[in-house]
Amino acid sequence: MQTITVEELKAKLDAGEKINLVDVREPHEHQAFNIGGRLLPLGQIQTMQVDEIEDLKEVPVYVYCRSGNRSGQACLILDTAGFKNTINVTGGMLAWEERIGK
* Active-site residue list: 65
Q: What is the residue-wise DSSP string for 34-77?
A: -SSPEE--HHHHHTT--GGGGGGTTSEEEEE-SSSHHHHHHHHH
